């Protein structure tokens, strides 16, 4: 593609536009989206901050290789629909990625402008293009014919499978996604709160796949409802496993089973998937007392803390390392701080104490100091024994990480795993022929965009295999 | 996936049998496994044991005691209605053995949950004695089916209107001693399972209890169903629901199952209010 005629003069020195946010006081009691999205005026300024580099490092750095340079040019020209079309060449999920992608680690980290000034706000521009095009989803899908090619099964409906479905259906494969839960989207549906990713955005971007001919089967647990072998016998020529890392790590401290102690998964599933924030208008309850402590420093911890806070609980995040080591998206940390969530750094829980009915009422903590760097390159926290102290608490949420979902692996011993993670070769293929895997089930916990990268790579490998052996029917 | 209700039958007051179309689960389930349902689009997810299946009708059967909001919604479904969600089979099948004297104990709606397990023990070549409890004669369920499935069936009723006057554990103690049975299975209300475990502690018998903690996903993802068994934390939906009864911390299970009691009552009251007046 030739570079578009530019109607603008790049102006990288203009200040990076700040996303308008819902007022922190309103947020405190609302499930509504926090980040409101750029105005067209802001888009104009922000898009012109892009230098339209001859060698756009941002495109290389985006795991989906979205043509960032070109879609930004379209935005600068006011061609908002066409910006969305450019993104669609690589991704049907700009509404999701524009909101939850850790762009500071990928495209924005690589942006040339960022060497001297703040990088171009690529994520927020992507989101703008998506929001602008939302109402066109059906029309977009209508341009694709119904697929007629070989059948491919994708297990799990998280980002890894979703992008694989997009690529495969465009190559004419008949794609079926099997999902264990009753809603689609994986972590996007049960983990990430509405105030970060409104459910209608997720639904609409998934509906686009549906309109393109991707079939979705919910309430289906691969390995339980049917085995991989049975799926193959039903005519699926290749299978992709994108079952994610849903198995929560436990803290392993006394008192962990007291009432009021949750894993982040349970807490977030109750609230996001089952909509406990609407209880009793929604049927599933969640127990949130006056004081909540969330243990951990990743995205799950921020999400759980921000929900607890919204539901009226005085909320503290307890993290055994320091602020710079927090693993959540930068934006979420800032939003959590704005919303009044307290952070206790260099502290870890050692025990929980309950009342006579078995409800948690105190957490015993210990202070840490940072020692030598560990295998992850971060300085390992070392406990200071004399610092034990107890804090009163009503709700405790353990957000200390997840391991791959073991269900399928347990009944499929042919799948070789290491510490629960499915092992794959360079093509994304597992130890079982024509069975591929990617996303969190291979990486352990990671990010939406890396899961998508894996799904895309697997789709390509499946296409290469199936198109080179057409005789297998 | 929507699943069609094929038949419905009231077995006892507030205890209803539902037969629901579920071709894939029908083919794969084993005794001791369960499903999770969401009767309506607006319902909670709740676990129910698979009681029976029919390969011709491609269906499975569940028996539901209507104790709260969701179970009431489930039994309100009429034949031909569509159940909003049904997923399974979940959990591990019941532990089986062969050539042994086996006692199968259940109380209340647990009697229905016991049926497939008792049947499986029998088919695996064991001599099976079933001890079943009910509040009163008219609360006894699935008597004919159990008669056909086991070698010996005894009933206990709390008020003595049928069979042994007392509970199932007292019945067990009246019939058996430390060496009567080599293997046992118990399912029912927590106090009953706990009492059965206590009564048989020190007997030369393995006792398996099928636990009923609160569950959400049923796939090992949330940890809400965790129970302590022999000082280890287990997720009942994937590691169980059956565990060594002599190692289960029943008191903890009781406390955890009470966690939402007031809120459940609120939910029930809330629904009534919506039906009664406009606030
Ligand atoms: C609370 C939370 C917040 C996060 N926030 C962010 C963020 O802001 N940005 C970011 O980049 N990353 C974030 N992450 C990480 C990111 O969500 C994950 O890395 C990503 O979702 C992984 O995608 P996946 O497709 O591999 O699996 P998942 O999204 O985990 O989806 C797997 C799906 O497979 C289903 N499944 C499992 N087993 C079976 C089976 N046997 N049969 C059928 N279906 C099955 C599961 O129910 C699930 O729906 C967050 C994670 C969490 C938990
Ligand atoms: C593996 C498993 C298999 C089960 N099989 C069956 C079955 O075959 N038939 C059947 O009728 N029930 C069965 N149950 C119990 C059933 O899931 C609960 O009765 C149901 O979740 C209650 O939902 P509700 O909304 O109607 O009542 P709620 O309003 O949620 O609860 C009403 C009352 O019941 C108590 N309660 C809540 N959950 C449970 C529970 N899991 N066990 C015991 N008491 C509870 C509450 O404390 C409350 O007092 C099973 C449970 C498990 C875990
Ligand atoms: S998907 Fe992520 S990395 Fe790619 S352009 Fe969008 S925000 Fe950047
Ligand atoms: S690297 Fe930055 S400046 Fe260059 S094209 Fe990409 S977004 Fe524009
Ligand atoms: S019900 Fe969620 S892990 Fe068992």
pLDDT of residue A135: 67
Last residue of a domain, one of B65, B90, B115: B90
For A411, name the nearest residue in chain B, comparing CA atoms only. Answer: B92
Cα–Cα dist B242/B249, whole Å? 13
Task: Find chain B residues with C-beta within 8 A of A259's C-beta.
Answer: 255-256, 258-259
Domain boundaries, chain A: 24-139, 144-246+403-472, 250-400
Contacts of B1 in chain A (CB under 8 A): 217-220
Do B103 and B197 share a domain, yes or no? yes
Q: Is the dihedral of CA A383, A266, A302, A156 positive or negative?
A: positive
- Are B180 and B82 part of one and the same domain? no
Beta strand A314-318 with A291-295 is parallel
Question: In angstroms, what is the span from residue B21 Cα to ligand 1's centroid?
Answer: 30
Rounded to two decimals, the pTM is 0.93
3-state secondary structure of A454: helix
Alpha helices per DSSP H over B6-142: 23-28, 69-75, 110-123
3-state secondary structure of A232: helix
Given an 8 Å threshold on Cβ–Cβ distance, is A280 in contact with B270? yes
Number of alpha carbons in the 13 Å side-chain half-sphere of residue A257: 23
Domain edge (last residue) among B64, B90, B116: B90
Verify whether ligand 1 is closer than 6 Å to residue A243 (CB atom). yes
List all residues 6 or more positions away from A426 whose beta carbon is below 8 Å from its beta carbon. Answer: none
> What does the DSSP assignment read for A128-197?
HHHHHHGGGHHHHHHTSPPP-S-EEEEES-SHHHHHHHHHHHHTT-EEEEE-SSSSSSTHHHHTS-TTTS
A122 Cβ below 6 A of ligand 3: yes
Give the gap in angstroms from C-alpha B153 to the nearest C-alpha of chain A: 33
Fold of A144-246+403-472: FAD/NAD(P)-binding domain (3.50.50)
Which residues, at least 6 apart from A281, have a Cβ–Cβ distance to it below 8 Å? B270
- Measured CA to CA, the distance from residue A168 to residue A162 in angstroms comes to 10
Looking at the CA of A63, name the nearest ligand: 3
Residues of A in Cβ contact (< 8 Å) with B43: 283
> Is there a single domain that holds both residue B50 and residue B25?
yes
CB-CB neighbors (< 8 A) of A247 in chain B: 220-221
User: If you measure CA to CA, which chain A residue comes closest to B36?
Assistant: A219
B204 and B122 inside one domain: yes
Please say whether the beta carbons of A265 and B216 come within 8 A.
Answer: no
- Pocket mutation for ligand 4, best pick of A52, A61, A125 (most atoms within 8 Å of C-beta): A52
* Inter-chain CB proximity B69 and A226 less than 8 Å: no
Cβ contact (<8 Å) for B1 and A270?
no
Q: CB B263 to CB A224 under 8 A?
A: no
The best mutation among A83, A119, A123, A197 to test binding of ligand 3, ranked by most ligand atoms within 8 Å of the C-beta, falls on A123
Q: Which residues of A312-340 are buried (b: 16+ CB within 10 A; e: fewer)?
A: ebbbbbbbbbbeebbbbbebbbebbeebe
Q: How far is the CA of A225 from the centre of ligand 2 (A)?
A: 23
- The residues facing B62 across adjacent strands are B18
User: Is the CB of B69 inside a 6 Å radius of any atom of ligand 2?
Assistant: yes
Q: Which pairs with CB-CB distance under 8 Å and at least 24 residues apart come from B151-159?
A: B151/B122, B151/B127, B152/B128, B153/B129, B154/B129, B154/B130, B156/B131, B156/B132, B157/B133, B158/B133, B158/B134, B159/B135
Q: How far is the CA of A175 from the centre of ligand 5 (A)?
A: 29
Q: Which residues of A touch B231 (CB under 8 A)?
A: none
As a CATH number, domain A250-400 is 3.50.50.60
Q: Does residue B109 sit in the same domain as residue B154?
A: yes
- The H or E element that residue A332 is part of is helix A330-338
Among B165, B192, B210, residue at a domain's last position: B210
Residues of chain A contacting B260 with CB distance shorter than 8 Å? 285, 287
Min CA distance, B84 vs chain A (Å)?
Answer: 9
B216, B256, B257, best to mutate for ligand 5 pocket (most atoms within 8 Å of CB): B216
Q: Domain A24-139 in CATH: superfamily? A: Alpha-helical ferredoxin (1.10.1060.10)
HSE (side-chain half, CA atoms, 13 Å) at A458: 36
Q: Which residues of chain B have pLDDT under 50?
A: 272-279
Instruction: Report the C-alpha gap between B183 and A6 in whole angstroms.
Output: 81
Pair (B42, B78) in one structural domain:
yes
CA distance to partner chain B, nearest, from residue A248 (Å): 7
Identify the residue whose tokens are 């006892």.
Answer: B12
B85 and B158, same domain (yes or no): no
CA distance, residue A396 to nearest chain B CA (Å): 13
In the block, which residue shows the tokens 């991707």? A214
Residue from A322, A316, A323 nearest A295 by CA: A316
Q: Is B214 in the pocket of ligand 2 (CB under 6 A)?
A: yes
Domain that holds residue B86: 5-90
Residue A234: exposure state from Cβ atoms within 10 A (0-12, 13-18, ≥19)? exposed
Q: Is the CB of A64 under 6 A from ligand 3?
A: yes
Same domain (yes/no): B265, B222: yes
Do A269 and B217 lie within an 8 Å CB cutoff? Answer: yes
Distances (CA, A) of A400 to A189, A311, A348, A394, B96: 20, 22, 11, 19, 37
Residue A47 beta carbon below 6 angstroms from any ligand 4 atom: no
CB contact under 8 A, B90 and A224: yes
| Contact between chains at B24 and A180 (C-beta distance less than 8 A) | no
Interhelix angle A68-76/A80-88, nearest 10 degrees: 170
Q: Cα–Cα distance between A101 and A448 in angstroms, integer? A: 6
Q: Which residues line ligand 5 (CB under 6 A)?
A: B 215-218, 220-225, 235, 237
Query: Which candidate from A219, A285, A405 shows the least CB-CB separation from B220?
Result: A405
Query: How far apart, in whole angstroms, are the C-alpha atoms of residue A232 and residue A373?
Result: 46
B150 shares its domain with B217: no
Yes or no, beta carbons of B219 and A220 under 8 Å apart: no
DSSP codes, B61-80 = EEEEE--SHHHHHHHTPPTT
- Distance from Cα A96 to the centre of ligand 3, integer Å: 10
From A284, which residue of chain B is nearest by alpha-carbon distance? Answer: B44
Tokens, residue A238: 């290749």
Please report the DSSP string for B200-244 in residue order. HTTSS-EEEEE-----SSSSSSS-TTEEEETTEEEEHHHH-SEEE
Please give the C-alpha separations between residue A435 and each of A165, A228, A404, A424, in angstroms, as whole numbers.
15, 9, 17, 9
Residue B99 and residue B202 in one domain: yes
| Nearest-10 crossing angle of helices A68-76, A40-47 | 130
CATH number at residue B67: 2.40.30.10
* Statement to judge: residues B76 and B133 lie in one domain: no
How many angstroms away from the CA of B166 is the closest CA of chain A?
29
What is the rounded CA–CA span in Å between residue B265 and residue B249? Answer: 26
Measured between alpha carbons, how far apart are the two ends of chain A, in Å?
Answer: 38
Q: Are residues B25 and B36 in the same domain?
A: yes
Q: Which two tokens stand for residue B149?
A: 């499935």
CA distance A420 to chain B (A): 14
Name the DSSP class of B91: S
**Per-residue pLDDT tens listing for chain A (473 residues):** 444 555 568 899 999 999 999 988 888 888 899 999 999 999 999 999 999 999 999 999 999 999 999 999 999 999 999 999 999 999 999 999 999 999 999 999 999 999 999 999 999 999 999 999 886 666 666 667 889 999 999 999 999 999 999 999 999 999 999 999 999 999 999 999 999 999 999 999 999 999 999 999 999 999 999 999 999 999 999 999 999 999 999 999 999 999 999 999 999 999 999 988 888 888 888 989 999 999 999 999 999 999 999 999 999 999 999 898 888 988 899 999 999 999 999 999 999 999 998 999 999 999 998 888 877 777 888 899 889 999 999 999 999 999 998 889 988 988 998 988 999 998 899 999 999 999 999 999 899 999 999 999 999 999 999 988 655 44
Total tally of structural domains belonging to chain B: 3
* Backbone dihedral angles phi then psi of residue A411, each to the nearest 5 degrees: -100, 5
CATH number (domain holding residue B134): 3.40.50.80
Chain A environment of B37 (Cβ under 8 Å):
none
Give the nearest ligand 4 atom to A52 CA: 5
* Cα–chain center distance at B225: 15
pLDDT at position B276, please?
A: 35
Residues A180 and A19 sit within 8 Å (Cβ to Cβ): no
* B21 contacts in chain A (CB < 8 Å): none
What local confidence, expressed as pLDDT, does residue A371 receive? 83
How far apart CA B65 and CA B10 sit, in angstroms, is 10
3-state helix, strand, coil in chain B (%, to 5): 30, 30, 40
């Amino acid at each position: 593609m030739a570079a578009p005629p530019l109607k603008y003069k790049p102006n990288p020195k203009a200040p990076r536009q700040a996303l308008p946010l819902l007022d922190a006081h309103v947020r405190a009691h609302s499930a509504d989206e926090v980040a409101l999205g750029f105005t067209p005026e802001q888009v104009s300024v922000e898009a012109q901050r892009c230098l339209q580099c001859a060698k756009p490092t941002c495109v290389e750095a985006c795991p989906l290789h979205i043509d960032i340079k070109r879609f930004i040019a379209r935005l600068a020209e006011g061609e908002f629909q066409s910006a969305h079309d450019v993104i669609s060449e690589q991704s049907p999920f700009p509404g999701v990625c524009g909101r939850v992608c850790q762009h500071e680690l990928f495209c924005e980290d690589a942006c040339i402008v960022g060497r001297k000034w703040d990088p171009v706000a690529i994520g927020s521009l992507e989101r703008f293009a998506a929001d602008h095009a939302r109402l066109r989803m059906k029309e977009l899908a209508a341009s694709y014919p119904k697929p007629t090619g070989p059948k491919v099964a994708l297990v799990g409906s998280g980002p890894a499978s979703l992008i694989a479905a997009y690529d495969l259906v465009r190559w004419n494969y008949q794609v079926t996604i099997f999902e264990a839960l009753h809603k689609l989207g994986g972590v996007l549906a049960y983990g990430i709160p509405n105030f970060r990713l409104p459910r209608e955005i997720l639904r609409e971007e998934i509906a686009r796949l549906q309109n393109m001919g991707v079939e979705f089967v919910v309430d289906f647990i691969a390995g339980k409802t049917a085995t991989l072998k049975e799926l193959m016998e039903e005519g699926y020529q290749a299978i992709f496993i994108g079952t994610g890392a849903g198995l929560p790590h436990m803290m392993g401290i006394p008192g962990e089973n007291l009432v009021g102690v949750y894993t982040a998964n349970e807490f977030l599933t109750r609230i996001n998937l089952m909509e406990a924030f609407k209880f009793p208008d929604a049927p599933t309850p969640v127990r949130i007392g006056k004081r909540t402590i969330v243990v951990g420093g990743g995205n799950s911890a921020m999400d759980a803390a921000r929900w607890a806070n919204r539901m009226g609980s005085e909320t503290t995040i307890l993290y055994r390392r320091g602020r710079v080591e927090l693993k959540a998206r930068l934006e979420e940390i800032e939003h959590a701080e704005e919303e009044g969530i307290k952070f206790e750094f260099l502290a870890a829980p050692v025990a929980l104490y309950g009342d006579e009915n078995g409800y948690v009422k105190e957490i015993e903590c210990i202070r840490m100091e940072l020692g030598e760097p560990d295998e992850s390159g971060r300085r390992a926290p070392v406990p200071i024994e004399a610092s034990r102290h107890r804090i009163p608490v009503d709700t405790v949420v353990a957000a200390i990480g997840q391991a791959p979902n073991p269900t399928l692996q347990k009944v499929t011993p042919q799948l070789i795993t290491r510490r629960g993670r499915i092992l794959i070769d360079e093509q994304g293929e597992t130890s079982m022929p024509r069975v591929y895997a990617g996303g969190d089930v291979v990486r352990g916990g990671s990010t939406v965009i890396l899961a998508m990268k894996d799904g895309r790579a697997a789709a390509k490998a499946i296409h290469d295999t199936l198109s080179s052996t057409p005789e297998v029917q | 996936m929507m699943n069609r209700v094929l038949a419905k039958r009231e077995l006892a007051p507030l205890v209803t049998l539902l037969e629901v179309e579920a071709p894939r689960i029908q083919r794969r389930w084993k005794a001791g496994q369960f499903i999770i349902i969401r009767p309506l689009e607006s319902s909670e997810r709740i676990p129910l044991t698979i009681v029976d299946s029919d390969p011709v009708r491609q269906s499975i059967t569940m028996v539901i005691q209507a104790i709260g909001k969701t179970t009431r919604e489930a039994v309100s479904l009429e034949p031909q209605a569509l159940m909003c969600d049904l997923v399974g089979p979940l959990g591990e099948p019941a532990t089986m053995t062969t050539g042994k004297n086996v006692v199968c104990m259940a109380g209340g709606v647990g009697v229905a949950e016991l049926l497939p397990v008792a049947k499986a023990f029998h088919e695996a070549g064991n001599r099976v004695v079933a001890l079943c409890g009910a509040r009163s004669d008219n609360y006894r369920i699935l008597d004919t089916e159990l008669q056909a499935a086991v070698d010996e069936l005894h009933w206990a009723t709390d008020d003595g209107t049928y069979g042994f006057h007392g509970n199932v554990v007292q019945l067990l103690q009246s019939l058996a001693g430390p060496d009567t049975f080599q293997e046992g299975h118990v399912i029912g209300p927590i106090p009953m399972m706990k009492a059965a475990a206590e009564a048989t502690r020190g007997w030369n018998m393995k006792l398996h209890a099928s636990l009923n903690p609160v569950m959400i996903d049923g796939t090992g993802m949330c940890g809400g169903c965790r129970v302590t068994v022999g000082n280890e934390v287990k997720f009942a939906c994937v590691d169980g629901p059956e565990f060594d009864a002599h190692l289960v911390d029943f008191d903890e299970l009781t406390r955890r199952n009470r966690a939402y009691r007031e809120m459940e009552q609120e939910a029930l009251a809330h629904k009534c209010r919506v039906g009664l007046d406009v606030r």
